[in-house]
Structure 1
Amino acid sequence: MHRIRCFAVGGFKINGLPRVGKGPMTSKEVSDTSNEASLPKPTRAGRIETCTGLIRQATKCLKNNDKQCVIRLIEELIKNQCHDGRLIGKEVADNARNVIYRLWRITNDEARCEVLTLFKSLGVSRNWISVTLKVGGRLSDLLRRCGIEIEGRVTRNKIIENIESLMVRELSWSEKMMCRALLQFIGIDIDGFEKHGIDACAWLHAETSISYFIGIIASDIADCVIKAKRYEYVKVSLNTTESISAVMFLKILTDIGKPSISIVWGNGTPRRREKTNVAIQYFVFVKKEEWRWLSIEELIKYIKALGSEDVPKLIAGIIDGDGSIRYDFKKSTLNISISACYNCKKRILLDAVQEALGKLGIKSHIYEDEEHNAAVLEVYGKNAIKLLRLITKYLHHPIKWLRAELILVFYDGKINYDTFVELYNQTKYGDSNNDPKRYHGLETLAQAAPQTHTHGNKNHQPHKKELNNWCRRRDLNPGPPGYEPYAGLSPQGAPARLSYPGV
């Protein structure tokens, strides 16, 4: 038996001499081989120098009208990523695009097809081609004329649409299925309600009118101005940690656009080690000039101008946001309340709502607690029953709608007291984090799978087009009779200040 000699040279362990070759490599040889295997990546400065030189050569070829020379150099520019402003800097990338555009302007159709073919072979995106050549929507026609197919980049929205369409096609997803999954998750006995003639998912077909949406804006929607390069946008968002709102808010926002979703920790920080609840934010972006509701004065003017037929829709929106429907078993009476902070601008909304309720002949009272910075508008007794009959068909909040319908069925004598108590208790919120109605918004999304882009049949929302026009075009919807959107504005467009207590 031969003993194998082991050599340790240059950090490598080699079992004996090789049968072919020079033997073990020296440290220098190992280093040289390593350098050959992984060439150093060009630095930004080096890439800029290369790109600048190519642009200079291409410009010279353009002056000499040597188009083939320019095309060869364009290929080198793209291969060296001179067209990507993120890697090379905006100035150099713009110069590269300018060379390409100058060539495009002086070429005939045949040469243009050659350029487009080059772009396809180099994997350049449709959007970049469209912007660089300044052809906009005509790019598809140009590609078709040249017999070229360049796939557009698959957007996130398109991916979501495909997934949701697959759910409908393969899993028979429907809004009814979503509703039942939601209610079962939060502990609602759907069969128990349906046994007494209450369709637990009827809230899916609630009308989304302009007045309802104004109620949501006044109570729950957050909006802030985002500055972009050329425009200012308003980020319109709804935030929640609750299971029910996680589905309802998404459905509401689909009336003004395709909402995006953001998942953050409940205290607004991304720090996982802090034990807190997960919050869900749905948001859409609207151009600032198309969103008039940044000013609370605009909301007040709209509410004051509402006719009696639209007031219930407004109240339903506000209750879905910051209101409550509660039956007081000790006093055997119904209480409907809308809350606001005392020492803030939102307080004045309660006065406007109280005035609007007066148009329906409904009496209400406002209670203020300055110490706890709280103000509450309350309607109770017979007035509450009258109001409930007017607003129930407009409620979108599943639990509030279910509770409202249950109370009306009880008041109409269709169920006995024991049944009422049993079903009503299912709509109550628990105090602990273990209650599936609270702090389980993210889990609800996984269970109910509400859709964001292909959200069921919108035929039950006859005001959607009107709502979109309202949000986007002031001139198309002047508002209810008596509503003057520009009244009280200064020449600079600043709203006249309204006075209210606490501010």
Structure 2
Amino acid sequence: MTTDRKNRLKECTRLIEEAMKCLENNDKQCVLRKIEELIRVECHNGRLIGKEIADGVREIVHELWLRSDYESRCRLLRILRDFNVSKRWVRDALHTDARTLNTWFVRCGIDWENRMVRSNVVKVIEGLLREKFDWNEIRMCEELMQFIGVNVDAFRKYGIEPCSWLEGLESLSDLRRPYWLGLRTSDLTVRKGNGETELVLATTNAIDAVFFVKLLSTVKVPNLNIRWAKNAKKAKYVHKSIELKYYIDLGIDEWPWLTELSTDELKRALDGFSDEELAEFIAGEIDGDGTVWYEKSASVKIAACKACPKRFILDVLKEVIAERFGIVGDIHHYETDDALVFHSKSAVKLLRRIIKYIHHPLRRLRAELFLALYDGRISREEFERLYDVTKYEIGGPDVKRNNALEALTRAAPQTHTHGGLGTDPTKEKHPTRLIKPLTHRLGII
């Protein structure tokens, strides 16, 4: 027996024992988590680990099925689908036939045949790239930067790392990190129901297409839906926008924060944070609804629509940041939005405090560039030249907008084998031409 198989056998045995203890305590959420772990390390695969261990996993699944209500059974089936477990294995584990199992798929709204849409798209992409193209996160980042017109070597010449946003990303596997609460009060949607919690991030733009998938992947391999964008801002140079929706399903109690916060609840939460935790929260806010830009001086903005329930967050943040860090911002009022804005020295001071927690690729790059300027590591002339390539085109086509699917294909094997996809993204194209090369290979649609 090889060392690898011995270690896997030991791990599977441990997980089965822990799952049995969860069953003894009638802790169904605990059992579900252990089943996920067992399947993730392939303890259910008899040919890989042996029949005895695989049968042990089947027995745990069967016992949980017998003890579960409708919602819990549906969640169990979704987990098995998301991990690409075969229907034959599921039928054997549940001691049922194909007809009964298909009835449960219908009742739970599960499309087992097209499960690639919801589950393993990202996992398949990354696996193939690592094996066939020596792909890694830095290469992915460099592809993204190249796609949006950023020459990474030009920035690195001055000690500015365009892929620094990846640093520390793995720490966000813990949802208790304040970053997630900051993101929740901005872009992240959290939905609870049917015995589970769903975290959702959706986008039509190129940068977020890569950023969101990397962010959610720190917690769990995200599911992906591709659809025509609804209520997207119309522009004469965009035929129709494609939206990528990433989501992960968690246990009902796995999201550690309140889904809705009052003014007093948010203030108490922020007051309870250490300085570093508060900095991390602010970074999550900026990665979601923030802007980092330069116009005569560095500026940082956190926005909220006037009519949104979360508008109060701006007032709380203004107060807490001033009290804790001595950094004073102003509330600006626009036609549809309000924003907490920091300018010049206040913006630079805030960025110094939070920069290591900023993970949005473009906002992190701009923040690094601003600090290089204010620290005297780069001349103003070079600063303006580098900053110019990070700017959005106003009133015209911009590769950074409405190109989410094209950016995602930069991380897909067919980008390298079909050639030409995304090479001239500023030209108007019918979106279905972009979908077909990606989806044909992956079986998405």
Instruction: Name the structure 2 match of 1:164.
Output: 126
Check conservation: 1:240, 1:279, Cα contact below 8 A.
yes
Question: Deviations 1:359-382 (Å, cap 9, x if unpaired)?
Answer: 01111122334xx34211111122
2:145 alignment partner, one of 169, 174, 183? 183
Q: Does 1:435 align with 2:398?
A: yes
Contact (CA 8 Å) 1:260, 1:284: kept in 2 or not?
yes
Q: Which has the higher helix share?
A: 2
User: Aligned to 1:220, which of 183, 187, 191?
Assistant: 187
Paired residue for 2:216? 253
Q: Look up the equivalent residue of 1:184 and give its one-letter code.
A: Q
Alignment pair present for 1:355 and 2:323? no
- 1:309 maps to 276
**C-alpha separation in 2, matches of 1:186 and 1:422:** 15
Q: State the SS of the aligned residue for 1:191.
A: helix
Bigger Rg over Cα = 1
Residue 368 of structure 1 corresponds to which residue in structure 2? 333
Would you say the 8 A contact 2:121–2:223 is kept in 1? Answer: no
- Aligned equivalent of 1:390, options 338, 347, 353: 353
Contact kept, 8 Å, 1:242 with 1:437, in 2: the verdict is: yes
Equivalent position to 1:283, from 247, 259, 276: 247
1:235-274 matches, cutoff 5 A: 235-267=198-230
State the shift of 1:256 in Å: 2.5
Q: Secondary structure at the match of 1:296?
A: coil
Unaligned runs of 5+ in 2: 1-65, 67-85, 98-112, 233-237, 414-445
Which of 323, 327, 340 is the aligned partner of 1:377?
A: 340
Q: Distance in 1 between matches of 2:231 and 2:125?
A: 29
Q: Is the 8 A contact 1:176 1:201 kept in 2?
A: yes
Distance 1:413 1:166, change over 3 A: same
Q: CA offsets per residue over residues 261-294 of structure 1, 9 Å max, x none? A: 111111169xxxx942111110012233333432
Aligned partners of 1:304 and 1:355 also within 8 Å: no
Partner-residue secondary structure (3-state), 1:414: coil
1:124 and 1:384 mapped to 2: Cα distance? 55
Alignment check: 8 A CA contact 2:120 2:223 kept = no
Per the alignment, residue 426 of structure 1 pairs with 389
The alpha-carbon deviation at position 259 of structure 1 amounts to 0.7
Question: What is the identity, as a one-letter code, of the residue corresponding to 2:227?
Answer: V
Q: For residues 173-215 of structure 1, what are the alpha-carbon distances to aligned partners after superposition, in whole Å with 9 as ceiling and x for unaligned?
A: 1111101110001000111111111111111114545111211
Equivalent residue runs for 1:143-154 within 5 Å: none
CA 1:165–1:196 in 2, change beyond 3 Å: closer, same or farther? same
Task: Give 1:314 deviation, angstroms.
Answer: 1.1
Secondary structure at the aligned position of 2:283 is classed as: helix
> What SS does structure 2 have at the residue aligned with 1:310?
helix
Alpha-carbon spacing, 1:175–1:397, altered in 2? closer, same or farther (3 Å): same
TM value normalised by structure 1: 0.55
Counterpart among 167, 170, 174 of residue 136 in structure 2: 174
- Summarize deviations over 1:160-183 as a string: whole Å, max 9, x none: 645532321221011111011100
Indicate conservation of the 8 Å contact 1:306/1:356, yes or no: no
Q: Which stretch of structure 1 is more off in the superposition, 155-164 or 301-310?
A: 155-164
Question: Which residue of 2 is the match for residue 484 of structure 1?
Answer: none
For residues 327 and 342 of structure 1, the distance between their equivalents in structure 2, rounded to whole angstroms, comes to: 24
- Specify whether residues 124 and 399 from structure 1 end up closer, same or farther in structure 2 by C-alpha distance, changes over 3 A only: closer
C-alpha distance in 2, partners of 1:342/1:268? 18
Q: Give 1:243 shift.
A: 0.5
Residues in 2 aligned to 1:159 and 1:377: alpha-carbon distance in whole angstroms: 38
% same residue? 34
* Contact 1:293–1:299 (8 Å) recurs in 2: no
Q: Deviations over 1:99-137 (max 9, x none)?
A: xx9xxxxxxxxxxxxxxxxxxxxx981211221269xxx
What code does the residue aligned with 1:216 have? L
Indicate if the aligned counterparts of 1:218 and 1:299 stay in contact, CA closer than 8 A: no
The amino acid of 2:248's aligned partner reads: V
